Structure 1
Amino acid sequence: MVVDGSVGVEQRGGRKRARGSERGSSSRPCAIDPSFFNTLFICVFRLHVAEIDELPRGSPLERPLHAKRRRLWTPPSSDPVPLSTTGPSSSELDIVKEVEPEIVVANEVAPSCSSAFPPSLPALYVEVMADDVASTPHHHQSLQRRSFQRRRRPCDADIEAALNYGSENDSSCDEDEEGPPIMIPRALQQDLMDTPEDDVLDEVLPPSSNPSIASTAETMMPHDFFDFQWESFPNPPISPNVRREVFSVENVGPTIPVTDPYLTFREIWDEEIMGHIVQQTNIYAQQVAAAMMENNSLCPSSRISYWKDTNEDEILVYFAIILAMGVVVKSKLVDYWSTDGSIFVTPAFSTHMSLKRFQLLNACLHFSNNNDMCVESLSPSEAKMFKIAPIIEHCNKRFQALFVLNQNLALDESLLQWKGWLSINQFIPNKAAAVGIKTYELCDSETGYLWRFEVHAHKKATAAQPASILDASTPAIVLRLLQGLENHGYTVWMDNFYNSPALARSLKSNGFDVVGTLRTNRQFLPDELTQLTKAAMRLGQIAGFTSGDVDVLVWRDQNRVATISTYHGNATTIVEGKTKPIVVADYNIMMGGVDKKDGMLAMYPVERKRTRVWYKKFFRRLLNVSVLNSYIIYKKSPQQVTHRHDHRSFRTQLITSILDRHSKKQSVSLADQPAVRFEAHSHYLMEHPPMQGKWTKKLRRKCCICNTLTRFYCAGCNKTVCMHPCFPSLHTY
């Protein structure tokens, strides 16, 4: 999210760009080198850089769900410096006193068709681009050694003549170019496209063979699909409500009647997928036992030797215990089955499933048959995801079938922490996990409902050059996540990792609106914006262009913020006493769908328990997400308007319902459990046999109760235990 312009910090020349000086700051004089005239021409004569307060006012289209609760500091009252509305003030045109001063431009810049400066250009004190200054060491040193005399301050007539030079009597500048940009109808774009996946997505499209369509395209849209004709924003501006796609989806929200948390959860984990998990778990347990018998590594004390086939009821109880570990957080797994009588004891865990059985299910839980894997017939990405592919496919299918999305969609990546070695591991420093398994997710911006996701499992080898612009990996991911939602008026909110003018136009032609931040090194952007640095703009300035269906803006706040939108325009609004473009204000509200989902999952860390198998941890993440989606479905259901649960009570009721319906054991307190008596001849002490060539100290093991080294163990239960007092306390005769 863009918070006070904290997005878009650039690095040039191996160092971070310094923040541009504000009004009233002192500056040093500098000379205008003739080699920088081309850059000056771009900045002054072509690009319109205006104060943000001079732009038309508008109102945000999106409203926050909750008001911000924070303390606001009110600065001492002071008279604000009025902004000039007719032209630059005398203070703005004062002598430049720094090597990297500010740009001084007029508010209204007429389009110029000249390619050179007039020979009689007055000595304007304007800034040259900071990158060009830094790239000329000799010139930079000369600026430090030389001192300049105060020049004559140009009058208003000189400024107007310089800025409007070459635009008065040029016949090539028509009056039609000053009007609003031509809107591109979506129907016409679709008529010109043969196949959206092949021809239209090529970087250079062949002209249409139909004469009628070709003649219409000459007047209403560019010849090429990605031929952007960047123009200034129309004045007066077009209302965003007119340009935005009409949302045509009815009955958004849950698609099923909801009456109980358990039934909602079972809509996702139905009998089909539960039967598949039970079958694959039993097959894998038999395969492990058979492999150990062949290797002569199976002994009577092996955990797998106690295996018996599981069933759906036991797997659901296993799920409930995993979910309960996210509510009752302990540091070790064995602490949940502890019987030491302390205040931290949770006896209910042992009444529903023993520790050994839980560990055995952890080890044998499986989702795909290893014997069915054929590496030759799978791509590298499919081979990496083979073990968890059935669960991913099922969750995507059920998530989409149970909920109809609202108009605003957030597309972002999420990261599941995994510190072990893994070929698909990704490093994202601005995420809380930093390193782990990355997923691309499409969420509802309002509720955080995860509707579709895709795991990043691309091949690390360098791929061939894509056949078209949108065949690259990032645009292809966006198109796959949005597949099936075309022509319904959805608005997709994305950050600068995904956004580009080509992707925005492609989605606009398919009935989507696109809003988000933008990287200014993307293809098809105007050169004026790509060369506009942070130091070249004052605090509060804004510049941008429109191409009819795509708008790009660069706003100078604490950092340089570049945005792209298909309907916002350049209108501004006041948020908490600060003037911002409405595209930034709406982006801050609607972009946090994936982050909202991650924040709600972080309160119940189901997947935090360590495991040596990555796809089992990822399965726990999907189990946790399914509970959250069930809660959102339950919360948004019309049947639950009068009686709602919060997130924690929903989880506790769901866990209790699963155990009541599928657990065969009754919950009894630890005090009500009778003392277990054993036969004396079945449990007795024995000493570990001596080992040849080994020290006696190495024969000792830790006692299972007091952790003291001892040479004795119980022959009945094969537990290392002290002779006194641990053995009598372990077995009551």
Structure 2
Amino acid sequence: MVRTRRSGRVEPDTKEQVCSDDTQPSQVKDADQPKDCKMVKQRRTRCRGRVELEKEQVCSEDAQSSQVKDADQPDEDDHDTDELDEEASSESSTEGEDGSRPSKRHRRSSAQAAQPTQSWRTEEDSDEAPPELAFHPARTPGAQMSSADTHTPLDLFKLFFTEEAVKTLCDNTNKQVAIHVAKGAKYKWTNIGVSEMYKFMGLIFYMSVIKLDHVTAYWRQNSIFCVPFPATVMARERCRCIAGNIKMSDPHKDQENDKKSGTPEHDSLFQARPLLDTIRNACKALYHPHKNLAMHDRVSGSNHFRLFVLADAGNGYIVDLAVFTGKHSRHMGRKVSCDAVLSLVDHSVLGSGYHVYMDIFFTSPKLFRALHGRNMGACGMHSYGIKNCPRSISNALTKSSGRGAIRWIRDGPLLFVKWMDAGEVCVCSTIHSAYAGDTVQRTVRSRKGASTTKTYPCPSPVVDYHKHMGGVGVSEPLSQDFATQHRNGDWSRKLFFHFLDMAARNACIIYNELVTQRQQTPLSYKAFLKELTVQLCEVSNKRTHHKQVSSDHVPVPVDKSPDARRQPTQGCVLCTKNKGKRHLTAWKCKGCDVALCLQFNRNCFEEWHKPT
């Protein structure tokens, strides 16, 4: 070894020297650099070497793991709470004797080895349907009342909204308004009673049948498109004030419940609890469902609450429901939906042998096995990524598979079916065979634009699923054409209007079943709502040729003042609109709540109420 005097750098001997003449200038240049610069450069070189070595190790591990991992095995669904618990328990059981955990690659490969893959079968392969479940309902399916008794639409509606429940609703609403007035709200309020509350419900149903742009449009009188009926029942501001302050629970007890937030004693549904329990008990007591049930998931527009609805798949009668609010309605795992279904499909209340059809939100193999253990069948669409579903690529559907292609795998009582329609459809069932010769028709357009109808084979679970879940007006009772909709208000008031829809629809179903047993003509839901509105508002449905005049449409002072010499005035709305001039007046219409001129030479009050 030779050491230089100038830099103290050690150079190799002639035997160990491998550098060429081209590298010698760079060595001389390095020797001229300060010692600190050389050390920094050496550290950078060592860091780059370590990074490159780590990249090579990662690439080699990925290459090995890609060979071990099956190409058709996607990652598990992170949203399934119960599945995560199962994975955690399985991983903890694979720990070594020294307490160390195996690598992620080893855990994944061992989990895949525990699930043997099967090859998908086609419609040409025979599949034996599971044994038919014996149907033993707890009560005789249908309305639980005698058809010999005559029931009006109002009588049946009051079985859900009883006078006792409405009395509680009125008391809580009056308390809510009193709290707002104490805080400075300027309400012209008189306590509401049971009769007036029923009239308010009748107006809500009237608005659900006759659609207008805004609530105030129902009291507009200066248009050829005006509807005179609402003004004969209730003043506009009175109706809006009731709708904005409707309260199902005691507002004073609400504050006590809010103080328990974060504790087990807190009830997240306290604001809806009184009426919710009444509606649920009435739904279960007045009607017993038939064999086929449908499970639906409904989310409010603002995600403030979520409804799980169990309905009779034949007519849409709501048998039971569950409500979730707050963060539980927005982020809900598979375990919560599974528990909700098992709580609603109670065999002690319903009986055994029922077939439950459900949408993609509820379907899971774990739930279907639990229902099968209760002697209840299940069928529903599912997503590709849920746990314990076959993911084999052997003979699976591909993008090039033709329309009508069928693939299926049976795992004990569970049948997994894939069908190619416009896209891939995945269905799971415990009550069907894979294919029983059913067909569907689809309209296909040629390249030239001509439309032709073609027939394709369809699996049995898909046929029955669309039969019991796809009927508009039957399987979706909360999204009808005549559903009551109010955009303003918190989640409890929105839920109140949902309860009105449920009570009206269930009452209509019971009414039609009773009149059918008496061999009479049933009513459509729209005709039933019209008759219910007439009875709630205590008016006659017969058409009269004379104009109905309400006692509310009378001139009253704009505002009462203790000084009779100085009466308050407002601008006349008709003069401002038609003439573009602002004329002050001391009079207004009591029903319309608008200022109108009432003078010898200018009678805007008469002009405003004149039919046009």
Match of 1:319 among 201, 220, 224: 201
**Mapped partners of 2:175, 2:400: distance in 1:** 66
Letter in 1 for 2:218: Y
Letter in 2 for 1:653: E
Distance 1:482 1:561, change over 3 A: same
Letter in 2 for 1:326: S
* Residue number in structure 2 paired with 1:331: 213
**Mapped partners of 1:659, 1:671: distance in 2:** 15
Instruction: Provide Cα deviations, 1:75-108, integer angstroms capped at 9, x if missing partner.
Output: xxxxxxxxxxxxxxxxxxxxxxxxxxxxxxxxxx
Match of 2:573 among 699, 703, 728: 703
* Residue number in structure 2 paired with 1:616: 493
Consecutive unaligned residues in structure 2, runs of 5 or more:
1-64, 75-81, 91-113, 441-454, 608-612
Alignment partner of 2:158: what SS?
helix
Match of 1:251 among 119, 137, 140: 140
How far off its partner does 1:265 sit? 0.8
Q: Which has the higher contact order (CA 8 A, sep 6+)?
A: 1
**Mapped partners of 1:712, 1:480: distance in 2:** 65
* Residue number in structure 1 paired with 2:314: 446
Instruction: Provide Cα deviations, 1:519-565, integer angstroms capped at 9, x if missing partner.
Output: 23222234426994533755544333222211112234442222211
Tell me, yes or no, if the aligned pair for 2:560 and 2:567 is still in contact at 8 Å: no
Letter in 2 for 1:714: T
Distance 1:511 1:721, change over 3 A: same
Q: Counting helix residues as a fraction of each chain, which structure ranks higher?
A: 2
Distance 1:131 1:537, change over 3 A: farther
Tell me, yes or no, if the aligned pair for 1:228 and 1:547 is still in contact at 8 Å: no
How far off its partner does 1:668 sit? 9.7
Q: How does 1:83-162 map to 2 (within 5 A)?
A: none
Is it true that 1:351 corresponds to 2:232 in the alignment?
A: yes
**Mapped partners of 1:503, 1:682: distance in 2:** 66
How far off its partner does 1:513 sit? 0.4
Letter in 1 for 2:604: S
Match of 2:260 among 367, 377, 401: 377
Distance 1:673 1:413, change over 3 A: closer
Instruction: Provide Cα deviations, 1:432-484, integer angstroms capped at 9, x if missing partner.
Output: xxxxx5422211111111222223425369999x9xxx7x2221222222234
Distance 1:680 1:563, change over 3 A: closer
Tell me, yes or no, if the aligned pair for 1:443 and 1:593 is still in contact at 8 Å: no
Distance 1:676 1:504, change over 3 A: closer
Match of 1:281 among 169, 173, 183: 173
**Mapped partners of 1:458, 1:672: distance in 2:** 47
Alignment partner of 2:378: what SS?
strand
**Mapped partners of 2:203, 2:344: distance in 1:** 33
Tell me, yes or no, if the aligned pair for 1:534 and 1:556 is still in contact at 8 Å: no
How far off its partner does 1:315 sit? 0.4
Match of 1:473 among 312, 316, 336: 336
How far off its partner does 1:616 sit? 1.9
**Mapped partners of 2:555, 2:387: distance in 1:** 78
Distance 1:727 1:449, change over 3 A: farther
Letter in 2 for 1:333: V
* Residue number in structure 2 paired with 1:403: 287
Tell me, yes or no, if the aligned pair for 1:380 and 1:458 is still in contact at 8 Å: no
**Mapped partners of 1:369, 1:681: distance in 2:** 33
* Residue number in structure 1 paired with 2:345: 482
Is it true that 1:268 corresponds to 2:131 in the alignment?
A: no
So what's the TM-score if we normalise by structure 2? 0.66
Alignment partner of 2:327: what SS?
coil
Is it true that 1:586 corresponds to 2:475 in the alignment?
A: no
**Mapped partners of 1:685, 1:533: distance in 2:** 88
Distance 1:314 1:671, change over 3 A: closer
**Mapped partners of 2:262, 2:287: distance in 1:** 31
How far off its partner does 1:619 sit? 1.4
Letter in 2 for 1:615: S
Tell me, yes or no, if the aligned pair for 2:170 and 2:193 is still in contact at 8 Å: yes
Alignment partner of 1:528: what SS?
coil
Distance 1:578 1:391, change over 3 A: same
Tell me, yes or no, if the aligned pair for 1:448 and 1:596 is still in contact at 8 Å: yes
**Mapped partners of 1:313, 1:229: distance in 2:** 67
* Residue number in structure 2 paired with 1:575: 439
Distance 1:532 1:439, change over 3 A: same
Instruction: Provide Cα deviations, 1:375-427, integer angstroms capped at 9, x if missing partner.
Output: 243569966543233222222221121111111111121244x3xxx5x44xx
* Residue number in structure 2 paired with 1:363: 244
* Residue number in structure 2 paired with 1:633: 510
How far off its partner does 1:254 sit? 1.0
How far off its partner does 1:644 sit? 2.0
* Residue number in structure 2 paired with 1:714: 585
Match of 1:393 among 267, 277, 283: 277
Tell me, yes or no, if the aligned pair for 2:117 and 2:392 is still in contact at 8 Å: no
Tell me, yes or no, if the aligned pair for 2:596 and 2:604 is still in contact at 8 Å: no
**Mapped partners of 1:542, 1:291: distance in 2:** 66
Distance 1:202 1:394, change over 3 A: farther
Alignment partner of 2:212: what SS?
coil
Instruction: Provide Cα deviations, 1:185-209, integer angstroms capped at 9, x if missing partner.
Output: xxxxxxxxxxxxx9xx97889xxxx
**Mapped partners of 1:311, 1:555: distance in 2:** 57
Distance 1:488 1:237, change over 3 A: farther
**Mapped partners of 2:428, 2:560: distance in 1:** 77
How far off its partner does 1:673 sit? 6.8
**Mapped partners of 1:520, 1:482: distance in 2:** 25
Tell me, yes or no, if the aligned pair for 1:507 and 1:513 is still in contact at 8 Å: yes
* Residue number in structure 2 paired with 1:535: 399
Is it true that 1:728 corresponds to 2:603 in the alignment?
A: yes
How far off its partner does 1:515 sit? 0.9
**Mapped partners of 1:648, 1:473: distance in 2:** 36
**Mapped partners of 1:610, 1:462: distance in 2:** 20
Higher-Rg structure is 2
**Mapped partners of 2:263, 2:539: distance in 1:** 42
Alignment partner of 1:573: what SS?
coil
Letter in 1 for 2:202: A
**Mapped partners of 1:586, 1:260: distance in 2:** 35
**Mapped partners of 2:261, 2:434: distance in 1:** 48
**Mapped partners of 2:406, 2:557: distance in 1:** 86
Distance 1:647 1:535, change over 3 A: closer
Match of 2:481 among 574, 591, 603: 603
Letter in 2 for 1:375: D
Alignment partner of 1:655: what SS?
helix
Consecutive unaligned residues in structure 1, runs of 5 or more:
1-34, 43-128, 133-197, 206-226, 293-297, 426-436, 690-699
**Mapped partners of 1:544, 1:410: distance in 2:** 24
**Mapped partners of 2:229, 2:567: distance in 1:** 35
**Mapped partners of 1:278, 1:584: distance in 2:** 48
Tell me, yes or no, if the aligned pair for 2:291 and 2:353 is still in contact at 8 Å: yes
Distance 1:594 1:677, change over 3 A: closer
How far off its partner does 1:236 sit? 9.2
Is it true that 1:523 corresponds to 2:407 in the alignment?
A: no
How far off its partner does 1:239 sit? 5.2
How far off its partner does 1:595 sit? 6.2
So what's the TM-score if we normalise by structure 1? 0.56
Match of 2:429 among 546, 550, 565: 565
**Mapped partners of 2:478, 2:331: distance in 1:** 37
**Mapped partners of 1:568, 1:531: distance in 2:** 22
**Mapped partners of 1:680, 1:271: distance in 2:** 37
Aligned length: 477
